[in-house]
Amino acid sequence: MSAATTKAPHLTDDRRRWLALGIVCLAMLMNTLDGSVVNVALPAIGRDLAIPQQSLTWIINAYLITFGSFLLLAGRLGDLVGRKRVFLSGVTLFTLASVLCGFATDERMLIAARFIQGLGGAVSSSVIIAMIVSEFPEPAERARAMSAYIFVAVGGGSIGLLVGGLVTQALDWHWIFFINIPIGIVTLLLGRALLDGKPGIGFDKGLDVLGSITITVALMVGIYAIVTTPDHGWGSLHTLGFGAVSLALIAFFVALQARLANPIMPLRILRVQGLVSTSLVRGLLATGLFSTFFLGALYLERVRGYSALRTGVAFLPLSLIVGALSAGITANLMARFGARAVMLPGLVLTGLGLLLMAQVGEHSSYFPGMFFALLILGLGAGTAFIPLLAIAMAHVPQSDAGLASGIVNVSMQMSGAIGLAVLGTVSTDHARSLVAGGHSLPSALTSGYQLAFLVGAACVALGLLLALVLLRPPPPVPAASQAPQPALADAQP
C-alpha cells in the first residue's frame, strides 16, 4: 500500500482515531497561536527590523489575507484529492514558512514569509473539521472530538498571548516562529503514520479552475479591504471600491457554480440543514469574542502598563475554563439536553462577559472585575462554539465535508477580521475624539475599549436572536414511525 493510504497496523482503529485527533489539533494549535503570539511580539519586531509603526500591521494582515482567502479552495481540494494529502501539504508549507519568518532580516522578507505561512495555515486547517467528522461518525464521540478542536481554536488565542510574552521576554521574537519547527516535524511524522489516507472523490469531469480562482481572489480582495480599513476608513473610495469588487466576484462565482456540472462549490452545500444559519450565529459570536484578545491586551498594556508576559497570564482564566469544558463537560451536556439547549445559555454568557469587560475602568484592579469577565467569557465560548459546530456539520454528506469545513472556517475568519476592524476603528475613533476634547490618553483609550466591548456585546445579542429564530428544535417524531433525531443535530435552519 502507498504511504498515503496506510495506517499504523499495530494500533486499534479506535486508539488510532484519538491519536489522529491529537495530531490535527496540534497543527491547529500552531495556526491559532500564530494569530495572537505575533501581536505580543510586534513592538520587539518593529524595533529590531526598524519597521515603521504604520507598517507593523502588515505582519498581521499578510497572514490573515492568505489564511482567509484559501480556506474554501483548500477544503474542497481535500474532498477531491484526499484530506490527509492536503493536510500534510499545509503543515509542510506552514513549517517551512516559519523557518523563513524566524530568519527574516528585513520587513519585506518577514511579510512575504507571513503570506506563505497564512497559505500553509489555510491548507492544513481547512480540512481538520472534515477529518473529525469522518473519523467520529457517532454523535457522542464527535462531540468530544469537536470539544478538543474548539479548545484549541478558541483557547489557543489566549495561550498565544502567554507564549508570545514568555518567549519574547526570555529569548527574542525570532523564537516565536522557530518553536513551530519541531511541532511541525512531529505533526508530519505522526500524521503520515496515523491519519486515515482515504482517497478523495476525484476530479471526475475536471477541476473548476475558473471558479477556484474567482472565489480565492474574491475572498482575498474582500479581506484586504477589511484589514486596511483602519488606514483608509470605512467610507473611503479604497474600502468601498475593493469591497464592491469582492462582492461582484462572489456574485459571478455563484452564477458560475450554478451552471457547471462539476463546480468547485456545489450550491447544494448551502441547503444543508444548519450549515449557513449556524455560520451567521457563529460569525456574530466570533466578532464579539475574538476582539477581546486584541482589545483586552491593548487595555492591559497601554492603560495598565502590563508586560507582555503578564498580559498573557491575565488571559489564562478564559483558556482554563474553555479547556475544562472541552474535557467533556459540554459534550455530556449536549448528550443530555441537546446542542441548542446548551448553545443558547453560552451565547447569553458571552454577551454578559463582554458587558462586564465594558465596565472595566482606567483604574480598575484586575481582580475581581476583569478576572470574572474573562471567566464568564470562557464559560460562554466553551458552551456555545461546540454546539454550533456540531449542528453545522451534523447533516453534511461525507463527500462535501471538506467544503463544509472550509465554509465553517471562513465564517469564523471573515467575521473575526471584520469584527476586529470594526471594533478597533470604533475604539480608536472614540479615543481620538476624547483626546481632542481634553481627556487624558489613558482615560480616552479606556473609554474607547469600553465602547468597543459594548458593540461586541450587541453583536452577540444579535447572534442570540438569530439562533432563537433560525435554529428551531425539530418537530416531535412519533417513536413508532421514525427514530429520534440525534442530540447533536437538534436544530433546524
Q: What is the pLDDT of residues 307-351, one digit of tens each?
A: 777 887 888 888 889 888 887 888 889 888 888 999 999 999 999
Q: CA dihedral defined by 296, 302, 306, 311, rounded to 10 degrees?
A: 30
Residue 477 has pLDDT above 80, yes or no: no
Cα 487 from Cα 493, distance rounded (Å) = 15
Higher pLDDT, 455 or 289: 455
State the cell numbers at 202: 476525484
Task: Find the angle CA(19)-CA(23)-CA(25) to the nearest 5 degrees.
Answer: 115
Q: Which CATH number fits domain 13-196+264-471: 2.30.30.100, 3.30.1490.20, 3.60.9.10, 1.20.1250.20?
A: 1.20.1250.20
pLDDT value at residue 88: 95
What confidence category does residue 206 fall into, taking pLDDT thresholds of 50, 70 and 90?
low
Q: CA–CA separation, 316 vs 186, rounded Å? A: 26
For residues 48 and 43, give the distance between their C-alpha atoms in angstroms, rounded to a whole number: 9
Q: What pLDDT is stored for residue 189 in this prediction?
A: 93
CA–CA distance, 381 with 352 (Å, rounded to integer):
12
User: How far is the C-alpha of 42 from the C-alpha of 38, rounded, in Å?
Assistant: 6
pLDDT in tens, 226-256: 878 877 887 899 999 999 999 999 999 999 9
CA angle 105, 111, 112 (to 5 degrees): 95
CB 472 within 8 A of CB 282: no
CA distance 194 to 29: 18
Q: Which residues contact 247 (CB under 8 A, 6 or more apart)?
A: 222
Q: What is the pLDDT of residue 99?
A: 95
- Pseudo-torsion of CA 41, 42, 46, 47, nearest 10°? -40
Contacts of residue 285, Cβ cutoff 8 Å, sequence gap at least 6? 347, 350, 381, 384, 385, 388, 459, 460, 463
Mean model confidence pLDDT for the chain: 83
CB 357 within 8 A of CB 370: yes
The pLDDT, as a whole number, for residue 482 is 42
pLDDT at residue 484 greater than cutoff 50: no
Q: Give the residue ranges of DSSP H helices in 175-304.
A: 175-178, 180-194, 209-227, 229-232, 237-259, 275-298
Q: Which of 16-20, 48-52, 411-415 has the highest mean pLDDT?
A: 16-20
Residue 373 has pLDDT above 90, yes or no: yes
Lookup result for grid cell 462582492: 247
* Residue 30, SS3 per DSSP: helix
The three cell numbers locating residue 210: 475558473
Give the relative orientation of helices 339-357 and 441-470 as an angle to the nearest 10 degrees: 160
Distance, CA of 393 to CA of 383 (rounded, Å): 17
Angle, in degrees to the nearest 10, between helices 53-69 and 209-227: 150
Amino acid at 125: S
Residue 488 has pLDDT above 70, yes or no: no
Cα 358 to Cα 453: distance, rounded to the nearest angstrom: 5
28 within 8 A of 128, measured Cβ to Cβ: yes
461/476 Cα distance (integer angstroms)? 28
Greater pLDDT, 372 or 144: 372
pLDDT computed for residue 316 by the predictor: 85
Whether 481 has a pLDDT exceeding 70, the answer reads no
∠ CA 447-229-255, rounded to 5°: 130
Taking the C-alpha atoms of residue 53 and residue 89, their distance in angstroms, rounded to an integer, is 34
Q: Grid coordinates representing 97?
A: 514558512
- Rounded to whole angstroms, the Cα distance separating 382 from 307 reads 27
Length, in residues, of the chain: 493
- Residues 281/470, Cβ–Cβ less than 8 Å: yes
Mean pLDDT, residues 163-182:
84
